[in-house]
Amino acid sequence: MPGDYRLTDHAREEAARRSIPLDVLDNVLRDPGQIVDAHSGRKAYQSQVEIDGKRYVVRAIVEETDSLTVITVYRTSRIKKYWSDES
């Protein structure tokens, strides 16, 4: 379970632009359904969530150092593409 995390300005802007509530993002970071490898040595903390009556995978792309730094966040309805059955 991650400790503290920091949101970059970009991550905050993308959460707002993509209509991802910050409490949903907080839940994904504190209790991710999965943690998978992403580009450039980063990790994707992701969970399946329901937003406005529709199921999405919310993915937070993070750098893991002493604490987590959230680089960006997005949601996708392409669950099969992003959700790993191998966890």
32: in domain: yes
59: in domain: yes
Q: Mind listing the pLDDT tens digit of every residue in the chain (87 residues)?
A: 345 899 999 999 999 999 999 999 999 999 999 999 999 999 999 999 998 899 999 999 999 988 899 999 999 999 999 998 764
Indicate which CATH number applies to the domain containing 61.
Answer: 3.30.2310
Range of the domain at 18: 5-82
52: in domain: yes
Contact 47, 29 (CB under 8 A): no
87: in domain: no
73: in domain: yes
d(CA 40, CA 56): 24
Please give the pLDDT value at position 1: 37
10: in domain: yes
**Alpha carbon of 66 to those of 15, 28, 75, 85: distances in Å?**
23, 19, 26, 29
22: in domain: yes
Q: State how many domains the chain has.
A: 1
d(CA 15, CA 9): 10
